[in-house]
Structure 1
Amino acid sequence: MTKSKETGWNFDNSYARLPKLFFTSMNPDPVQSPRLIIFNKEVAESLGLNVEALQSEEGVKVFAGNRIPEGTMPLAQAYAGHQFGHFNMLGDGRAVLLGEQISPEDLKVDIQLKGAGRTPYSRGGDGRAALGPMLREYIISEAMHALHIPTTRSLAVVTTGESIIRETELPGAILTRVAASHLRVGTFQYAAKWGGVEELRVLADYALARHYPDVEVDGNKYLSLLEEVIKCQAGLIAKWQLVGFIHGVMNTDNMTISGETIDYGPCAFMDVYDPATVFSSIDVQGRYAYGNQPVIAGWNLARFAETLLPLLHDNIEEAVKLAQDKISGFNQLYESNWLAGMRAKLGIFNEETEDESLMNDLLNMMKKYQADYTNTFRACTFDKLEDTVLFGTEEFTEWYDRWISRLDRQEQSKADSQQLMRNNNPAIIPRNHRVEEALTAAVEQSDFRVMERLLDVLSNPYAYSSEQDEYTTLPESTTPYQTFCGT
């Protein structure tokens, strides 16, 4: 045990009070010689943690799983999920939930060690994680947070002093993840498959109390739960699309009930605009391509709705009808969020019926001419059209005139529109070649300065500072980019 008073840990263990069906109590596996690689002071301070103490030898032992903070009841969570459309029994195969930290503002968040060793759900895996994928999650999750996209956060990454075998021998690492919770659609699928109605009801009540305590219940609180999750996910997926983020593995076990982005495995940001873009090495059919993400989100939510049927109504036909009515509204909610976001990216304050065609015509041109997604909107923001490959084409000239006419039909000034665009078009994203540059330096050379500088410029993507300019350039290579899950 490590003394919580010294470090600021203030744990609750509400998940451990759920029925035993949902978890296995267990401690992380200790590691040889943990070393702190990166520590998120901002997150630590927001959680009421002692920054200095957590960077000490004793503090690092907590991040490695070698010391258990007082007040915790560590466990591995059980869940299921549709992986590329196929249903499987899953669970935390390499993660241990220490408990829930209660912040000074009474915010409750999960503290999970990812890469903490084998669990009953490891399915033949070694339960460990490699340094590269853990640093990738740290970089991308922090970039997503800076882009104002709901996400889990990364508190720390430590190396273990041990090697793991994947395609080759790699340095082992553990990521400390902070999340609103780790409740997933897959958690409900597990309850529906291997539990009874009462276990399902307990889980649903827990989700409501933890994430939607203030929701107005109109006679059926479980229908309200479904509605709230649909709303959150419609907003989340729209935010992904608006910045060109591709999750890579949108399995149902990777969709949270809280509406946070979780599990940054084969993820990346799109450079050249193409709805068919896929980054995951295992997604050979393009199921989780950029353009499919809204469709898959709706499919996942339908699976969530199926788990709630016994709680929605005693009559199964009536339960199905209630669920279908809610699920059918997802597309409209998503489209509304996406349209509002795209209007902001184009400096448009009000609504007109022709707006959607204006947006789609621009996207179609970007695909045709292989224009960079982020930099095209950046060029429009500052009226530097010569910076985009669309410049000089007849289609773009015609589109530009339509766009300017559209802006002239609103009350706000050109300066107002430009400020709206600056607030919604990031100057930079975690470019894939820059992320790889940082990971290569860290893993192969133990040089973490490249990553630290990248994290610094990504921390304020709307600053449009001179320090960010070099990070806006495209890679020289046109080789298709692939990422891997790292399991």
Structure 2
Amino acid sequence: MTKSKQTEWNFDNTYARLPKSFFSDTNPTPVNSPELAIFNDQLAESLGLNAEALNTEDGAAMFAGNEIPEGASPLAQAYAGHQFGHFTMLGDGRAVLLGEQISPKDERFDIQLKGSGRTPFSRGGDGRAALGPMLREYIISEAMHALGIPTTRSLAVVTTGEPVIRETELPGAILTRVAASHLRVGTFEYAARLGNVEELQVLADYAIKRHYPDIEDNEDRYLSLLEEVIKRQAELIAKWQLVGFIHGVMNTDNVTISGETIDYGPCAFMDTYDPETVFSSIDVQGRYAYGNQPLIGGWNLARFAETLLPLLHENQDHAVELAQEKISDFSNLYQSHWLKGMRAKLGLFNEEKEDEALINDLLSMMKEHRADYTNTFRALTFEKHDDTALFGIPEFTQWHERWHVRLSRQQESKDSVNQLMQNSNPAVIPRNHRVEEALEAAVENGDYSVLGKLLDVLSKPYAHSAEQEEYCAVPKSAAPYQTFCGT
């Protein structure tokens, strides 16, 4: 058998059949001595891959790009993006799409190597990635998946045996990223900027066929495409907010058409509740702060709507009206998902008009008294109020009474309420200090046991087990935490 048959790669390459303007045929640049740092056996098996055959030197060679699996068609994708509000022509500057793996369930997943060398879109970049940021993406993306949040996933990280130069010399690595697709708002911005309406239509039809086949026969399918992407992004961002996730770089090239979270560069999870929380070192104005994420989501979708105008109607003014009508739905859709999620976090099955005030009053207290976001809801779940900074505050005592009166006005039992709250409030998130601890052990000392234990704990965020207790603790240090994009 060939190595590809042994490993069970089953590639198709529909993106490679799009017009040539959307990509550049590009092979990964081989590296000196690839070694598997971490491999996702469970994900591999769900993709129909032979995990045992891939967790080898031959597998490491494939994940490094030294060997191209049979059936793959490597390419770098072209796209654009509004980066911190400014339009830029971009593209995969350090990533190569091998192709689309067809799973046993006949599902299609992009297989991309990130950090695999220079491409025609690299501009001044070296095309490489450092080990720390690649392991970070592995940790956070797998944690997001376990939390039930749509996300790209991580199949493997290999070390390259070659250094990369950032502020200092760092060990190099390549991440294998798995995605429903890598189609972005920025892909459509790129097509729109080229000005070829026929190619824009080909791209839109491709996105519909791949992600929204139910609307393929709609007479107004491009308006339906806009509507569906808005729906998925509204739900996605609401899920981010509900667990305190801060993406950090919500540029339009990091907004997927599929509704998955993508690009885990300067992301982090919030400890102390504060809507103004920013971790990214490059977000000096706080554009992508936690509290701004829903607003930025709407702004990004407006940019997507602009790209579709030539397809919405031949009369531009009418096309704008159609687009604006759909975009105006985003805020209400987001708010509906967020309220539903917050009700669940508080054990509320039904809806009452005063629920939003109850929720916002709690959040205001949490901000004022610097309460931990995750642990506050965990304390409410198990009625362990001394585990939160709000314990003993008269205002909180009054709020707690209001909440219990509200709970009494629904039919569900106390056990049902508690189960809903346990299923809606994670016990553990990727605490920043725990992530840094795992990265330091792996990168500095070659010790992956800390990372492995963290991944195991994060894989069951709603278990609320005794083994998770130590991972629920908030660090004593008041030092501000900062993240970096890794490029």
TM-score clears 0.5:
yes
Partner of 2:316: 316
Question: Shift of the alpha carbon at 1:219?
Answer: 2.5
Secondary structure in structure 2 of the residue aligned to 1:233: helix
Q: Is the 8 A contact 2:100 2:111 kept in 1?
A: yes
Question: Is the aligned partner of 1:377 residue 2:363?
Answer: no
Alpha-carbon distance between aligned partners in 2 of 1:358 and 1:247, rounded to the nearest angstrom: 27
Is the 8 Å Cα contact of residues 366 and 390 (structure 1) preserved in structure 2?
yes
User: In the alignment, is the contact (CA less than 8 A) between 1:21 and 1:195 conserved in 2?
Assistant: no
Q: How far off is 1:215 after superposition?
A: 3.0
Match of 1:443 in 2: 443
Q: What SS does the aligned partner of 1:214 have?
A: helix
1:426 partner letter:
P
Mapping for residues 183-202 of structure 1, pairs under 5 Å? 183-202=183-202
1-side partners of 2:235 and 2:2: how far apart? 40
Match of 1:407 in 2: 407
What's 1:462 paired with? 462
1:249 aligns with 2:255: no
2:270 match: 270
Moved more, 384-393 or 98-107: 384-393
Matches within 5 A, 1:345-384: 345-384=345-384
Provide the C-alpha distance between the structure 1 equivalents of 2:88 and 2:122, rounded to a whole number of angstroms.
13
| Conserved? CA contact 1:27–1:74, under 8 Å | yes
What's the secondary structure of 1:164's corresponding residue? Answer: strand
Checking the alignment, whether the CA contact within 8 Å between 1:92 and 1:121 is kept in structure 2 is yes
Aligned-pair Cα RMSD in Å: 0.9
Distance 1:42 1:312 in 2: 42
What do residues 240-263 of structure 1 show as CA deviations (whole Å, max 9, x unaligned)?
Answer: 000000000000000000000000
**Native 8 Å contact 2:136 2:439 kept in 1:** yes
Q: Which residue of 1 aligns with 2:232?
A: 232
What SS does structure 2 have at the residue aligned with 1:350? coil
Q: Distance in 2 between matches of 1:324 and 1:293?
A: 20
Secondary structure, aligned partner of 2:188: helix
Structure 1 gap ranges (5+) = none
How far the C-alpha of 1:56 sits from its partner, in A, is: 1.8
Identity %: 77
> Aligned pair count?
487
Change in 2 beyond 3 A, CA 1:456/1:162: same
Which residue in 1 is equivalent to 2:124?
124
Give, in whole Å, the separation in 2 of the partners of 1:70 and 1:262: 27
2:214 is paired with a residue whose SS is coil
- For structure 2, the 5+ residue unaligned runs are none
Q: Distance in 2 between matches of 1:203 and 1:448?
A: 42
Q: Distance in 2 between matches of 1:19 and 1:195?
A: 14
Measured in 2, the distance between the counterparts of 1:308 and 1:443 equals: 44
Corresponding position of 1:86: 86
Residue identity opposite 1:102 in structure 2: I
* 1:226 partner letter: L
1:2 and 1:69 in contact (8 A); partners too: no
Mapped partners of 1:157, 1:3: distance in 2: 20
Q: CA deviation at 1:3?
A: 3.3
Question: Partner of 1:178 in structure 2?
Answer: 178
1:30 partner SS: coil
Task: Specify the code of the residue in structure 2 equivalent to 1:145.
Answer: H
Q: What letter matches 1:358 in structure 2? A: L
Cα 1:202–1:218, aligned 2, differ >3 Å: closer, same or farther? closer
- How far did 1:216 drift? 7.2
Distance 1:428 1:47 in 2: 27
1:75 aligns with: 75
Deviation at 1:159, TM superposition (A): 0.1
Determine the C-alpha separation between the residues in 1 that align with 2:386 and 2:438. Answer: 30
The answer on whether the counterparts of 2:209 and 2:216 sit within 8 Å (CA) in structure 1 is no
State the SS of the aligned residue for 2:305. helix
Rounded Cα–Cα distance in structure 1 between residues aligned with 2:465 and 2:216: 43
What's the secondary structure of 1:450's corresponding residue? helix
Larger mean CA deviation between 197-206 and 49-58 belongs to 49-58
- Matching residue of 1:303: 303
Instruction: Please list the CA deviations of residues 254-297 of structure 1 after superposition, one character each: whole Å capped at 9, or x if unmatched.
Output: 00000000000000000000000001000000000000000000
- 1:286 aligns with 286
Q: Residues of 2 paired with 1:167 and 1:443: CA distance?
A: 16
Aligned amino acid, residue 481 of structure 1 = Y
**Separation (CA, whole Å) in 1 of partners of 2:13 and 2:4:** 15
Q: Secondary structure at the match of 2:111?
A: strand
* Corresponding position: 1:344 with 2:324: no
Separation of aligned partners in 1, 2:454 and 2:440: 13
Task: Tell me, yes or no, if the aligned pair for 1:217 and 1:224 is still in contact at 8 Å.
Answer: no
> What CA distance in whole angstroms lies between the structure 1 residues aligned with 2:50 and 2:416?
42
Aligned 8 A contact 2:101 2:109 in 1: yes
Partner of 1:326: 326
Q: Distance in 1 between matches of 2:9 and 2:187?
A: 27
How far did residue 57 of structure 1 move? 1.5
Give distance in 1, aligned partners of 2:298 and 2:110. 26
CA distance in structure 1 between the aligned counterparts of 2:236 and 2:217, rounded to whole angstroms:
23
| Alignment check: 8 A CA contact 1:215 1:224 kept | yes
Q: Does the Cα contact within 8 Å between 2:32 and 2:160 map onto a contact in 1?
A: yes
Aligned to 1:401, the other structure's residue is in SS state helix
Q: Which amino acid aligns with 1:379?
A: A
State the distance in 2 between where 1:59 and 1:435 align. Answer: 26
Q: CA deviation at 1:415?
A: 1.1
Distance 2:410 2:121 in 1: 57
Point out the more displaced range, 324-333 or 209-218.
Answer: 209-218
Q: Structure 1: which amino acid aligns with 2:45?
A: E
Q: Secondary structure at the match of 2:170?
A: strand
Q: Distance in 2 between matches of 1:222 and 1:151?
A: 24
TM-superposed deviation, 1:2: 6.2
Distance 2:454 2:305 in 1: 40
Distance 2:123 2:291 in 1: 32
Matched, 1:428 2:428: yes
Distance of 1:217 and 1:420 partners within structure 2? 39
By how many angstroms is 1:195 displaced? 4.2
Q: TM-score, normalised by structure 2?
A: 0.99
Distance change >3 Å, CA 106–CA 126, structure 1 → 2: same
CA contact (8 A) 2:208 2:216 kept: no
Structure 2 partner of 1:137? 137
Residue identity opposite 2:122 in structure 1: S
Query: Amino acid of the residue matched to residue 396 of structure 1?
Result: F
CA contact (8 A) 1:310 1:319 kept: yes
Taking the aligned partners of 1:43 and 1:224, their CA distance within structure 2 comes to 32
Give the aligned partner of residue 107 of structure 1. Answer: 107
Q: Is it true that 1:161 corresponds to 2:161 in the alignment?
A: yes
**The 10-residue stretch of structure 1 (472-481 or 13-22) with the greater mean CA deviation from structure 2:** 472-481
Q: How many Å separate the matches in 2 of 1:44 and 1:425?
A: 29
